Amino acid sequence: MKKIIKSLFAVTVALAAAACSSPEKMTEMAEDLTVGCEPAVLEVVGGKIDADVTVTYPADYFHPKAILEVTPVIVYEGGEVKMEPFMFQGEKVKDNYQTIPSKGATVTKKVSFDYAPGMEKSYLELRGTVKYKTAATNLPSKKVADGANTTYMLVCKKGSLDYKADNYQDVIAQKAEGQILYNINSSEVRNNQLSSKSIKDFQAAIDAIKANDRMNIVSTDVVAYASPDGEEDKNATLSDNRSKSAEKAFGAVTKKHAVDAPVNVKSIAEDWEGFQELVAASDMEDKNLIIRVLSMYSDPAVREKEIRNLSAVYKTLAQEVLPELRRARFIANVEFTNYTSEELLELIDSNIDILDEEALLRAATLVEDNEGKLAIYRKAVDKYDSQRAQYNIAVTYINMNELGRAKNALSKVAEDGDVYNALGVIALREDDINAAAEYFAYANSKAGVENAAIIDIIDGEYEAAAQKLADTKSFNAALAQLLIGNNIPAAAFEQDCEKSAYLRAVAAARMGKTEKVKAELEKASKNEKLAAKAAKDVEFAQFR
């Protein structure tokens, strides 16, 4: 019995030895190797193709004195790219490579390749060479994965930027004003006040407004005041009495200059606001001291007391400031109807010099031709030294893709968030991704955030891009959602262009909607570049 057992053991050892009796056997048994890859379909992320490749070596495969050189290779239409080989050794080899025991092992290695155009249609394979002493034998190549998905490269890299807005008003609120003055503690209107220069100017302004088809008096105010000296309750009574006499005076002033608008009459007991304005506008030596007192105290009695304590100053106030505050103001509230869009377009051709800065900035938005826009913006720069117009010149050049001129225009504008964003867009279009990212970080605007999301997509930071674009309905927002596994926004994206159709086709392919894929690709293929891309795109491999 013992002899039988020994014989069986000897046969088993012999068979095991025969299985790996020579390195050539490793070549013959190569089909027994199991290979896998994660991801199963290669993907380009941030300009790289990264994957985890797994090889399972069965028991009794690896010769104990052999060295195995495994080279990952991407094969594509443009050629092939090899990585540095991974080196493995048998149990009796005394080098420093990874040892594969005779009992077998599963080994996972990371592979990484720089993307090159053409790798959209490619595959990854492993090439092995068994080395034993001075001999070398090549193993059959093992295909590991197909590749490579480049869907993120659909990202729109034009960048988002806006023109600086104008402050053009379709209707401009204006005022015409005159006033009458009262003697101290009096509410009687003196005759000379009804014929003063202030009143005559007010009457002339009313006549001019009524003669102008663009102007309309919508209301009038009669506001009577008492100066802020004396007791507050007496000043309240005095200002009320002045409002009554001022209302009658207003009727006399406008008798031959009729105003067809409601009259609002009110009184203000103590004119501290007017007091501060007159003091600030004066050349009094101690005016800053007075203004500081006003800011420190809000109680009228305390204010007056503190100012009276400045005896030398108060004498000047009593002579030069307080008399001007014993008054009633006549105010005509006017609406000026500004130029219409049609009128602006006509004026830029016929009489551009009458347009102010805001009108020029608005007129430029009405012109579709870029050269026409530039001419209007240059006029605003030349006439008004308009920083907004100078910036808008740069934006126009960017839209024309004349990036050198855009940079030159921006060099003449004070730096702000919009300028940083524009510089980022230029850098993005010049493929200077690092510079673009830095500029967008300083942009501090919605457009800057949207543009930073472009960088995220390019760098493979899809979650970050999706968060930045969460409230945006744009091509890049739909693409970002697709890249994080949410197909719905891309499938529903309604923009009518070939690139949008391509995006919808990718979403449909991921959702297994064959007819939708065909329909959208038919639209997308009207663009020759997209048609060529679709023919190689791994996204559509199962639909060919």
Residue 155 lies in a domain: no
93 pLDDT band, cuts 50/70/90, is very high
* Residue 83 shares a structural domain with residue 121: yes
8 pLDDT band, cuts 50/70/90, is very low
Residue 184 has pLDDT above 70, yes or no: yes
* Residue 246 shares a structural domain with residue 323: yes
* Residue 273 shares a structural domain with residue 421: no
Residue 10 has pLDDT above 70, yes or no: no
Residue 2 has what pLDDT? Answer: 38
* Residue 142 shares a structural domain with residue 203: no
When pLDDT is averaged across residues 391-397 and rounded to a whole number, the result is 98
Residue 13 has pLDDT above 70, yes or no: no
Which structure tokens are listed for 389? 């117009």
Q: What percentage of residues in the chain have a pLDDT greater than 70?
A: 95
Residue 305 has pLDDT above 70, yes or no: yes
Residue 158 lies in a domain: no
Closest by CA position to 122, among listed 45, 52, 49: 49
311 pLDDT band, cuts 50/70/90, is low
> Per residue in 319-354, pLDDT tens?
888 888 899 999 999 999 999 999 999 999 999 999
Residue 396 has what pLDDT? Answer: 98
278 pLDDT band, cuts 50/70/90, is confident
Average pLDDT, the chain: 91
Q: Which amino acid is at 238?
A: L
* Residue 192 shares a structural domain with residue 99: no
**The domain containing residue 96 runs over which residues?**
2-149
Residue 483 lies in a domain: yes
22 pLDDT band, cuts 50/70/90, is low
At a CB cut-off of 8 Å and minimum separation 6, what does 345 contact? 363, 366, 367
Residue 9 has what pLDDT? Answer: 37
415 pLDDT band, cuts 50/70/90, is very high
Closest by CA position to 242, among listed 265, 273, 211: 265
Instruction: Read off the CATH number of the domain in which 61 is found.
Output: 2.60.40
Q: Which of 89, 114, 149 finishes a domain?
A: 149
Residue 154 lies in a domain: no
* Residue 366 shares a structural domain with residue 307: no
Residue 497 has pLDDT above 90, yes or no: yes
Range in 100-104, 277-281, 428-432 with the lowest mean pLDDT: 277-281
Residue 85 has pLDDT above 80, yes or no: yes
205 pLDDT band, cuts 50/70/90, is very high
Instruction: Read off the CATH number of the domain in which 451 is found.
Output: 1.25.40.10
Residue 195 lies in a domain: yes
Residue 1 has what pLDDT? Answer: 38
CA distance linking residue 398 with residue 393, whole number of Å: 9
Residue 398 lies in a domain: yes
Q: How many other C-beta atoms are found inside a 10 Å radius of the C-beta of residue 283?
A: 6
Instruction: Read off the CATH number of the domain in which 227 is found.
Output: 3.30.1330.60
* Residue 397 shares a structural domain with residue 437: yes
Closest by CA position to 144, among listed 6, 256, 35: 35
When pLDDT is averaged across residues 358-370 and rounded to a whole number, the result is 97
Residue 444 has what pLDDT? Answer: 87
Which structure tokens are listed for 24? 């050539």
291 pLDDT band, cuts 50/70/90, is confident
Question: What's the whole-model pTM score?
Answer: 0.77
Q: How many other C-beta atoms are found inside a 10 Å radius of the C-beta of residue 341?
A: 12
Q: What percentage of residues in the chain have a pLDDT greater than 90?
A: 79
> Per residue in 228-268, pLDDT tens?
888 889 989 999 999 999 999 999 999 999 898 999 999 99
CA distance linking residue 125 with residue 71, whole number of Å: 8
* Residue 177 shares a structural domain with residue 118: no
Residue 131 has pLDDT above 50, yes or no: yes
* Residue 306 shares a structural domain with residue 405: no
Residue 115 lies in a domain: yes
CA distance linking residue 239 with residue 230, whole number of Å: 12
Residue 359 lies in a domain: yes
Q: Where are the alpha helices (DSSP H) in 187-297?
A: 191-194, 197-211, 232-253, 272-281, 287-296
Q: Which of 337, 361, 395 finishes a domain?
A: 337
* Residue 136 shares a structural domain with residue 254: no
CA distance linking residue 506 with residue 537, whole number of Å: 10
* Residue 241 shares a structural domain with residue 389: no
Q: Which of 149, 183, 216 finishes a domain?
A: 149
Range in 3-7, 374-378, 380-384, 417-421 with the lowest mean pLDDT: 3-7
Q: How many other C-beta atoms are found inside a 10 Å radius of the C-beta of residue 256?
A: 9
* Residue 129 shares a structural domain with residue 206: no
When pLDDT is averaged across residues 105-120 and rounded to a whole number, the result is 96
In angstroms, how far is CA 247 from the centroid of its own chain? 55
Q: What string of H, E and C letters represents the secondary structure of 399-463? A: HCCCHHHHHHHHCCCCCCHHHHHHHHHHHHHCCCHHHHHHHHHHHCCHHHHHHHHHHHHHHCCHH
Q: How many domains does the chain have?
A: 3
Which structure tokens are listed for 411? 């060099």
